[in-house]
Amino acid sequence: TGDGVLTALQLATVLVDKQQPLSRLAASFIRYPQVLVNCRVKASAGWEKNVRISQAMADVEKKLADSGRLLVRPSGTEPLIRVMLEGPNEGELHMMASELAEVIKGEMA
């Protein structure tokens, strides 16, 4: 798909712009925990237009603010909707992912 090539080019651009070795730039990288929950559904079509799911996602994004990220997407091979959260507090991530997963399951069952 070219994602790796694009990422490598963007990284090379940053290295040239910053005039620093990758080891120095990597030292400032903060690794956050990641939580993934798979929601088994009958069919994933239409999930992104569901008002309750959209509101639950907005609530999670508001809680995360600028300290993390949320990714919700359907599986390409199974009847699943995947909920992935990253942020500084793993316990809170698990709680938010579980709550969002319950909304998705309730709406898409």
3-state secondary structure (DSSP) of residue 38: strand
3-state secondary structure (DSSP) of residue 82: strand
Query: Does the pLDDT of residue 1 top 70, yes or no?
Result: no
**b/e sequence 1-17, b meaning 16+ C-beta within 10 Å:** eeeeeeeeeeeeeeeee
- Chain centre to alpha carbon of residue 11: 21
How does pLDDT run across 8-37, given as a tens digit for each residue? 999 999 999 999 999 998 998 889 999 999
- At the top level of CATH, which class does the domain 32-108 belong to? alpha beta
The domain segmentation of the chain, as residue ranges, is 1-30, 32-108
pTM of the model: 0.79
**Residues 68, 88: Cα–Cα separation, whole Å:** 7
H helices within the chain, ranges in order? 3-18, 22-27, 51-64, 90-108
